[in-house]
Chain A
Amino acid sequence: MSRLAFIDARLIDPAGKLDAPGALYVEEGTIRDLGPRLFHDGMPTGATIIDCKGRALAPGLIDMRVFTGEPGSEHRETLESASLAAAAGGVTTMVVMPNTDPVIDEPSLVDFIKRRAAATARVRVLPMAALSRQLAGEVMTEIGLLKEAGAIAFTDGDRTIASARVMRHVLAYAATFEALVVGHAEDPELTQGAAMNEGEFATRLGIPAGPAAAETVIVERDIRLVELTGARYHFGQISTRAALDAVAKAKAQGLPVTCGVSALHLALNELDVGGYLTFRKVKPPLRSEADRMAMVEGVASGLIDVIVSSHDPQAADTKRQTFAQAAFGAIGLETLLPAALTLYHNESASLLRIVEALAWAPARILGLESGRLDKGAPADLVLFDPDEPFVVDSAQLHSRARNTPFDGRTFQGRVHATYVGGECVFERRAIL
C-alpha cells in the first residue's frame, strides 16, 4: 500500500492541542508519525510527497447529521452523491440519519446501508438507526440487535418522541446497552404547522410560526429523563439560548449529555428567510440574532460539543412552493467547514476549537478511532486553506440536490484535498 508524506503543513490537532507547522507520514492507511521535526533527517523512501504549501492539515471532519434519500428517494440524494459532496467538503465520515423509506429500524436495513456505502460511497458512512419503529414514537426499536448490526447511535432524526413515557422507556432500554441516543428537540404540538421561528418577523411576514420554547420544553424534559435513566444522550442540534442554558446546567450536574448545532444556525438568523426563501426553511427554524449569538458563544466555550451540517437534500418540487408549503431542509456538507470557519475569521473561536467541534468531539461522542492526528489513527485527513475566499455557486456543488441556503455567499476557507484511510477521495484542481 502507498506511503504518503505530507510536508510543509500547518498541523491542526485538537486532541493533542497542536497547531504548528510540521509534517505527517501515512503508511497502510494509518498515520505513522507526525510533528514539527518529522523528515528533518530526510524523506522516507518510496513515499509520495504531498506539498501542503503551508495549508492546514487536520483530521477529516465527522458530520454527525446527514440526511440522504437512500433508500427510497434516490432522486434527492444517494449515499454515493452525498459522499461526493462530503469528500469535497472535507468530511471523511458521514453519520446518516434513519429517516428514509423504508425507515432504518431493522437490523437488515442497517446492513443494507453499510453494504451500499461500502459499494458506492467515497467516504466512511456510519448509519444511525431509528429510536422508534417507523419513527412513530410509539414502539422502541431493537436497540440491542441494531447495535450488533452496526448502528452507531439511535435517533428519530428530525422527529421528536412526543410521549414522555415512551421516551423514558427508550432511554432506560438504551442505557441497558450503553447505546447513544440522539434526540431532536421540537415539541410536535407547539410546532404543529409552524414554518419559522415565532416572533416579530414571522408576524410581519404572516408565516405560521413555532416558539423557541418548543425546543426548551423538550430539552428540559429529556435532561430530566436522562437523570432518571442514566442514558447517554446527545441533542442532535439545538438553536436557542434557553436550550444552551439547560444543557450547560445538565453538564454541570455531571449528566451524560452533549449537544450539537448546525453550521446554518451559526451563520444565519430568522431575518435571512426574508423574501420567503424556502431554501432557508429548516428544522429547527433559524432563530433570533440573540439565539444565533448564543450558539456562537456555545461553540467557542465548548458547551456546544459539535457542529453538524444537518445536510438535508430536497428536490426542486418540494422547495419551489410557498414558504408554508415547502419542505424543510438545506444541504450543507460542502459548506460545513467554510460556514463554521466564519467563527474563526470574526475571532469568535479558535481554529483548534472549530476543528475540535467538527472532528475530535464527534469522534469522542461516537467512540471512533478517527478525528485526530495521532500515531495509529486512521489517515482520514482534510487539507484546507483557512483563509482562501470563494463564492458559493450552487451549480458547482457535488450534491444531487441544489437547495443550498448559501448560494452567492462569499466564504473564507477552502478544502483542497480529502483523504480517507490514506486514499485521496477529493482533490481541487488548480484553476489555471
Chain B
Amino acid sequence: MNGIDGPILQASHLLGADTLSLDEINALLDLAETYVTVNRAEQKKRALLKGRTLINLFFEASTRTQSSFELAGKRLGADVLNMSVKTSSVAKGETLLDTATTLNAMRPDILVVRHQDSGAAELLSRKVDCCVVNAGDGAHEHPTQALLDALTIRRRRSVEGLVVAICGDVLHSRVARSNIIILQKLGARVRLAAPRTLLPPQADRLGAEVYTDMCAALDGADIVMMLRLQLERMSSAFVPSTREYFRFWGLDRNKLRRAKPGALVMHPGPMNRGVEIDSAVADDGEVSLIQEQVEMGVAIRMAVLDALARGLAGAGRNAP
C-alpha cells in the first residue's frame, strides 16, 4: 500500500535534519505523499503500528505539533500517550535522565520529544532503547517541521533552484535552522532576513545569504517563509516594539510585491497577526500555504513514524 517498502532511515532516531541524507529526505517526502492520500480518504486508519506504543513527551507547550504527532500515531494504529510536563514528575524536580529511565521502563517503541533546551532529544536518545523523534529542541532543530515545509513546497514547485526567504527571529528559531539545512540539501537558495539583533552570529556560515533589509531579501523570492516573533523579545531588548517590527519585518502586501509574481507564503504557526504577518496576506488563499502546512504536518509525521518503525525489532517489511 505504501508504494515504497524497505528501510528508509539509516539511524533509529530522527534527531535533526543535519543527519538526513538527500536520499533519506526524498524517500520520506515520497512516503509522506502516500499518507496525504490516506488522510484525504474517508477511512484514515492503518494498522501499521498496531501494538506499538508512542509517547509524546512535551516539556514545552505545543498544540499543533503535539496533536499532529498524536493523530499520526493513532492513524497508524499505535497506542499514544501524551505526557504533559505540568502533570508529570518533571515538574516535581526529576532530572531529564531520570525521566528517560522511567519512561524507558514502560517499554515504549517511539518517544516524541519537545524540549526548551537544545540537545535534549539527543541526550534522551542515548538513554532509551526506543526510537526518539525530535519534535523541537531549543534553538537547535525541528526536523519534522522542515520536512513538512519541504513537502508543502514540493507539491507546488520543484525545490531545486528556488529562492526561499526565511524572515524574522532566525536567532531563536529551530524551524529556521532545520529549514536552512533541508532546503539547501534539496537545492534551494536560502536567504535570511532579520534585524541584526535577531540574526545569529556568522549566519552566513550556514550557507544562506544574510539580509537586514527585508525588501531586498524578498527581491525575486519564490517562497517567503515567516517566523514567529516571541513577544518576550521586546522586553529583552532584541526589538523595540511590535509596531516597528511590523513596519520593517512584517510581511504585508507591499513587501510581498517585491517577491516573484506568484510567490507563496509560509508560516510554521502560531501566527502573530500584525506583528510578523498581515492578516491580508495570511488569509489570502492564493498565496498562503499556511493551512496546507498543517495538513502536510500529519502526513510527514506518519511517514517518519512509519520509517522509524521499519527499523524496530520484529517489524515486518510488508506490514498491512
Q: Which of A165, A229, A230 contacts B237 (CB 8 A)?
A: A165
Min Cβ gap A322→B in Å is 38
* A166 / chain B contacts, CB cutoff of 8 Å: 237
Q: Which of A144, A165, A169, A170 contacts B247 (CB 8 A)?
A: A144
Q: Mark A120-145, 1 if CB is under 8 A from B, else 0.
A: 00000000000001000011111111
Q: Mark A136-170, 1 if CB is under 8 A from B, else 0.
A: 00111111110000000000000000000110011
Min Cβ gap B162→A in Å is 26
Confirm or deny: A248 has a beta carbon within 8 angstroms of a beta carbon on chain B: no
Q: Which of B196, B197, B237, B248 contacts A139 (CB 8 A)?
A: B237
- In angstroms, Cα B212 to Cα A165, docked, is 20
Interface size on A, residues (CB 8 A): 19
Asked if B196 and A143 make an inter-chain contact with CB atoms under 8 angstroms apart, the answer reads no
Asked if B196 and A229 make an inter-chain contact with CB atoms under 8 angstroms apart, the answer reads yes
Given contacts A140-B237, A142-B240, A142-B241, contact A173 B247 (CB under 8 A): no
* B235 / chain A contacts, CB cutoff of 8 Å: 139
* A165 / chain B contacts, CB cutoff of 8 Å: 237
Confirm or deny: B96 has a beta carbon within 8 angstroms of a beta carbon on chain A: no
* B240 / chain A contacts, CB cutoff of 8 Å: 133, 139-143, 173
Q: Mark B247-270, 1 if CB is under 8 A from A, else 0.
A: 110000000000000000000000
Interface size class on chain B is 10 to 19
Asked if A176 and B247 make an inter-chain contact with CB atoms under 8 angstroms apart, the answer reads no
Asked if B195 and A173 make an inter-chain contact with CB atoms under 8 angstroms apart, the answer reads yes
Asked if B248 and A144 make an inter-chain contact with CB atoms under 8 angstroms apart, the answer reads yes
Q: Mark B191-207, 1 if CB is under 8 A from A, else 0.
A: 00001110000000000
Confirm or deny: A366 has a beta carbon within 8 angstroms of a beta carbon on chain B: no
Provide the main secondary structure of the chain A interface. Answer: helix
* A142 / chain B contacts, CB cutoff of 8 Å: 240-241, 243-244
Min Cβ gap B24→A in Å is 37
Confirm or deny: B239 has a beta carbon within 8 angstroms of a beta carbon on chain A: yes
- In angstroms, Cα B238 to Cα A229, docked, is 13
- In angstroms, Cα B247 to Cα A145, docked, is 8
- In angstroms, Cα B238 to Cα A139, docked, is 9
Min Cβ gap B207→A in Å is 21
Confirm or deny: A255 has a beta carbon within 8 angstroms of a beta carbon on chain B: no
Min Cβ gap A224→B in Å is 15
Confirm or deny: B234 has a beta carbon within 8 angstroms of a beta carbon on chain A: yes
- In angstroms, Cα B202 to Cα A357, docked, is 37
- In angstroms, Cα B317 to Cα A343, docked, is 91
Given contacts A141-B240, A145-B243, contact A173 B197 (CB under 8 A): yes
- In angstroms, Cα B197 to Cα A175, docked, is 9
* B241 / chain A contacts, CB cutoff of 8 Å: 142
Please, which residue of chain B has its CB at the minimum distance from the CB of A228? B201
Confirm or deny: A303 has a beta carbon within 8 angstroms of a beta carbon on chain B: no
Q: Which of A140, A143, A170, A176 contacts B212 (CB 8 A)?
A: A176
Q: A143-B240, A172-B195 are in contact. List 4 more A-B contacts (CB 8 A).
A: A140-B240, A169-B237, A173-B240, A175-B196
Q: Hey, which bits of chain B sit against chain A, CB under 8 A?
A: 195-197, 212, 234-235, 237-241, 243-244, 247-248
The 5 A-B residue pairs with the shortest CB-CB distance in the complex, in nearest-first order: A172-B196, A142-B244, A169-B237, A176-B195, A142-B240
